[in-house]
Chain A
């Protein structure tokens, strides 16, 4: 066993204190709100935290999508770029995957093209910023809404299912990612795909030139330039990757879970934004994100259980989850914001 060096002690103990403090603060504030509203805080919190485990397969499947949108936020953030466009990338990825699956009947091709569509959208947002100085938050949010309605239009007017007009045509049986039996239970294959994607993201970030350049550019654009690394290229690469994973999220949603897109996008809406919370809780690290996505999914499903069992309004459950997520993300989000603001100036003033 090697001795813990002083810096390790500093790093680890501060992280431990941070997480413990956040959880305690989240539970305390959440419990207080519950009590204030006249609900039993102990019962409410235990339902919130444990309620999701009644259906583990569902819990993990829901985690799949936000795990991918979490990566979609985290990777550009490591390069110092704020990607709030995972929502639109996910819709696009889902739509492309659906259309490709319907026409080719091949799940792999649909998965790849859906992801690439997301990557292309990510590149577009990054390119507008890097080459034209267009604020990425504005571009991304506008594209989110544009795609929201474009996809709704296409699902309603072009690719609708004549038998159920509020749904799109179904993914053909041969192009679906299925469900397998594991240790007496079931598990959607997409969860395994998403774990593979996390492993890939981890490898790219920490074991390749691409990832090294992204991390260096995000931490210190000045150093990157000194070393001959282009922070702009790093941003473009990071957004291509971010888009790829968000696109994959949409593709997995359509090919492996819903098998269609509904005309209100209820199966996807909001998951792009949830990815931000997931990424922050997971400290922008793919391995952390694998865990935090499951945790986040747990809160969402637990909140639903709480609504049903305690007859509490949705807003109460959402507030509780929100407080816990914010408490867990806040310290990291703050540090990140500071370094993001520092980076931004340098990427533009090239």
Chain B
């Protein structure tokens, strides 16, 4: 079992079909040489994380085989993988915030074998010495910067004698300085003979730190290359290049005046760091503005700030000339902005029926004296939505949980559209829908645009963006990388921009 030169991981023809029928991997093979830094590049839904969760023993492949250091393995759970020296560091850390670093390390060690705190501390110091990974042992984890917390995670893995370290999008939460430090650490680990697998969608990072790259696209391998041999542009093409699936008819239309203006918008994300960093955009009547980008680059925060769901730290949002910055969402919705969230479990309450759901976002329109809910009015509105948007349902008293995904989406979108908004912010409106429902929703968006409404379409699906948009904006790390007509973007250029490379 050689360290240098041999193969640390071999995965062959791995197929993963989830119980709900989603095919995440369609026969993926992966070879990772021992002691290299291997990049796993791909868009959302390409299957990167699924593949690594299989290697880590968290989920089991439907088909295919996995070899670690030449030995065929079949993990029942992560503990089996850990025993083989495989460790995974997630985007969301698994640390106890109120514990000190040492306590966290002791906790993680105790799942392997019994060790006293002083033994753990001694070992941690020794590893820190060897790898140059500096972490304050006696401080509470919650008081540490995100970058340092990540180092704790890596240290935790090393304490467990990790020989293969998997990092899932490790830079998404880091500042540029922390990224540089992380990469230095990874290089040092490589010198120590540790194999690193880096899941990422960022081209620059792949070029900067990896030795070999495997590019995944929609559950298949799109290419395996030695990093020095490829350019970022070639990687981008591999990552996004694909055939168009659906056709939507769209006639040219002259847009009117701007109805939604966003000026130098700054918004914080979940972790308190800025997720939207100075975005300026305007959307005109009768126009679809597509916002492309890999998930997690500030699109959601942008959408939520527009809808009043997230505080704007700096900058302004104007809806038809009126300032709606930091107004409550119910007020913004009443003023003519509709927000279709990316998750149906947010936009709908699954246990409640269609009538109850149809009044959710504009409750005020259905209230009589003494804040009485006018169920009669709600009922006729619901019937209108069901009729106009061809919702297939036996009765409007049916809890939406019993509807198909496509019909749920129609209820959610229909509710928003039927209220007659001027601006519609739609986030992943066709996510998880079948072909028929996808086509319906896309044509609906085009129809709304033809009626003179303004649509902000946030999507990670590039086909959708390019087919529907009159203008395209690409977001990367909270900034707009470029805005232009869809013709100005080749897939390759889009891929580069989404990966953070100006083109």
Determine if A6 and B373 form an interchain contact, defined as CB atoms under 8 angstroms apart: no
CA distance A220 to B333 in the complex (A): 19
Q: Check if A227 is an interface residue, CB within 8 A of chain B.
A: yes
Q: Check if B348 is an interface residue, CB within 8 A of chain A.
A: yes
The residue of chain B having its C-beta at the shortest distance from the C-beta of A203 within the complex is B372
Determine if A7 and B345 form an interchain contact, defined as CB atoms under 8 angstroms apart: no
B residues in contact with A215, CB < 8 Å: 352
Determine if B309 and A210 form an interchain contact, defined as CB atoms under 8 angstroms apart: no
Determine if A220 and B350 form an interchain contact, defined as CB atoms under 8 angstroms apart: yes
The residue of chain A having its C-beta at the shortest distance from the C-beta of B308 within the complex is A228
CA distance A315 to B195 in the complex (A): 66
Determine if A219 and B349 form an interchain contact, defined as CB atoms under 8 angstroms apart: yes
Determine if B373 and A228 form an interchain contact, defined as CB atoms under 8 angstroms apart: no
A residues in contact with B307, CB < 8 Å: 226
CA distance A216 to B346 in the complex (A): 11
Interface string of A213-255 (1 = CB under 8 A from B): 0011001101101111100000000000000000000000000
B residues in contact with A219, CB < 8 Å: 349-352
A residues in contact with B363, CB < 8 Å: 209, 212, 227, 229
CA distance A210 to B348 in the complex (A): 19
Q: Check if B414 is an interface residue, CB within 8 A of chain A.
A: no
Determine if A207 and B373 form an interchain contact, defined as CB atoms under 8 angstroms apart: yes
Determine if A5 and B395 form an interchain contact, defined as CB atoms under 8 angstroms apart: yes
The residue of chain B having its C-beta at the shortest distance from the C-beta of A211 within the complex is B373
B residues in contact with A104, CB < 8 Å: none
Q: Check if A146 is an interface residue, CB within 8 A of chain B.
A: no
Q: Report the interface size class on chain A.
A: 20 to 34
CA distance A210 to B370 in the complex (A): 10
Determine if B346 and A222 form an interchain contact, defined as CB atoms under 8 angstroms apart: yes
- Which of A5, A210, A225 is close to B394, meaning CB atoms less than 8 Å apart? A5
CA distance A215 to B370 in the complex (A): 18
Determine if A208 and B309 form an interchain contact, defined as CB atoms under 8 angstroms apart: no
Determine if A228 and B330 form an interchain contact, defined as CB atoms under 8 angstroms apart: yes
- Which of A7, A208, A226, A229 is close to B372, meaning CB atoms less than 8 Å apart? A208
CA distance A335 to B399 in the complex (A): 17
Determine if B372 and A207 form an interchain contact, defined as CB atoms under 8 angstroms apart: yes
A residues in contact with B18, CB < 8 Å: none
Q: Check if B100 is an interface residue, CB within 8 A of chain A.
A: no
Q: Check if B42 is an interface residue, CB within 8 A of chain A.
A: no
Contact status of A226 and B308, CB under 8 A, knowing A208-B373, A209-B373 = no
Q: Report the interface size class on chain B.
A: 20 to 34
B residues in contact with A5, CB < 8 Å: 394-395, 398
Determine if B309 and A223 form an interchain contact, defined as CB atoms under 8 angstroms apart: no
Interface string of B337-348 (1 = CB under 8 A from A): 001010001111
In chain B, positions 277-329 with a C-beta closer than 8 Å to chain A are 307-309, 328-329
Determine if B370 and A226 form an interchain contact, defined as CB atoms under 8 angstroms apart: no
| Nearest CB in chain B: distance from A133 CB, A | 13
A residues in contact with B356, CB < 8 Å: 212
Determine if A220 and B341 form an interchain contact, defined as CB atoms under 8 angstroms apart: no
Q: Check if B135 is an interface residue, CB within 8 A of chain A.
A: no
In chain B, positions 383-415 with a C-beta closer than 8 Å to chain A are 394-395, 398-399, 402
- Which of A7, A208, A225 is close to B399, meaning CB atoms less than 8 Å apart? A7
B residues in contact with A228, CB < 8 Å: 308, 328-331, 333, 361
A residues in contact with B359, CB < 8 Å: 212
The residue of chain A having its C-beta at the shortest distance from the C-beta of B352 within the complex is A219
A residues in contact with B330, CB < 8 Å: 227-229
CA distance A95 to B399 in the complex (A): 44
Interface string of B455-473 (1 = CB under 8 A from A): 0000000000000000000
The residue of chain A having its C-beta at the shortest distance from the C-beta of B357 within the complex is A223
CA distance A223 to B307 in the complex (A): 13
The residue of chain B having its C-beta at the shortest distance from the C-beta of A226 within the complex is B346
Q: Check if B173 is an interface residue, CB within 8 A of chain A.
A: no
CA distance A10 to B333 in the complex (A): 36
CA distance A215 to B350 in the complex (A): 12
Q: Check if B360 is an interface residue, CB within 8 A of chain A.
A: yes
In chain B, positions 357-391 with a C-beta closer than 8 Å to chain A are 359-361, 363, 367, 370-373, 375
A sample of 19 cross-chain residue pairs with beta-carbon separation below 8 angstroms, ordered by A number, consists of: A5-B398, A6-B394, A7-B402, A11-B399, A208-B371, A208-B373, A220-B345, A223-B348, A226-B347, A226-B361, A227-B329, A227-B330, A227-B360, A227-B361, A228-B308, A228-B329, A228-B331, A228-B333, A229-B330
Nearest 7 A-B pairs (CB), nearest first?
A228-B330, A228-B329, A209-B371, A5-B394, A7-B402, A227-B360, A220-B349
Given contacts A5-B398, A226-B307, list 6 more A-B pairs with CB under 8 A: A7-B402, A212-B373, A226-B360, A228-B328, A228-B330, A228-B361
